[in-house]
Structure formats: C-alpha cells, structure tokens
Structure 1
Amino acid sequence: MKKVIKYRSSLSKQEITFTIDETLNQLKGKVLAPKKLAEANQFLRTIKSPLPKASK
C-alpha cells in the first residue's frame, strides 16, 4: 500500500509530493545485494591495510 503526502513548501511555494511505500519497511535488516556487499568488504580490507614504507 502506498501512502501519498502532499506538502507546500513555505520557501519556494511549490507543492511537494511524498510517496511512502509500506512494502519497503519489510526489507529492514535484509541484505539486498550480497555479491556487491562481499565485493565492497574485500575492497575495504585492502584499503585498510597499512601503506608500504617509502624508500629514501
């Protein structure tokens, strides 16, 4: 079920429409893209490793 909220901005005098989809609330805590998450974690591990010593 989608909930639509209309709001008129006091600064710009424009009407703003917010659409809230209740099915998105069911996704809390779920991993949506496990491959991308694993790839990002692997990349972060390499970034967090100490830098090599600079040679003089």
Structure 2
Amino acid sequence: MGDVVNLNRFRKQRRRDEREKQASENRIRFGTPKSETTRQRLEQDRQTRDLDGKKRED
C-alpha cells in the first residue's frame, strides 16, 4: 500500500507556481518604472540633438 497523499497540497503548490510564473512574466513586461523610462527617453533625445549638432552640411 502506498503513502497517503494530500491532493490539496499539490493543487495549492501548482497554483503558487503558476502565480509565480505569471508574476515573473509581468516583471519582465512592466518592470521599468516611469521615472526610468522618462530618463532613458531624455537621454536618447539629448544624444540625438548632440549628433544632429555635429552634422556637417555638404
């Protein structure tokens, strides 16, 4: 005869694993805060302006 197994424990663990997987995907998708996104956009704009200012006219 085998050991007694509590199926609720396995169901709860499976739900925890699914939630953790979803949370991981969400961290990747929505992970950057607004301040970081704004900072990156401002930095890119600054670099673009800097390069445009150094262009030579033919």
Higher relative contact order, structure no. (Cα contacts within 8 Å, ≥ 6 residues apart): 1
Q: Of Structure 1 and Structure 2, which has the larger fraction of its residues in helix?
A: 2
- Aligning the two structures, in what range does the TM-score lie when normalised by the shorter sequence? 0.3 to 0.5
TM-score when normalising by structure 1 = 0.43
Task: Answer with 1 or 2: which has the greater Rg.
Answer: 2
* Length-normalised TM-score, structure 2: 0.42
> More strand by proportion, 1 or 2?
1
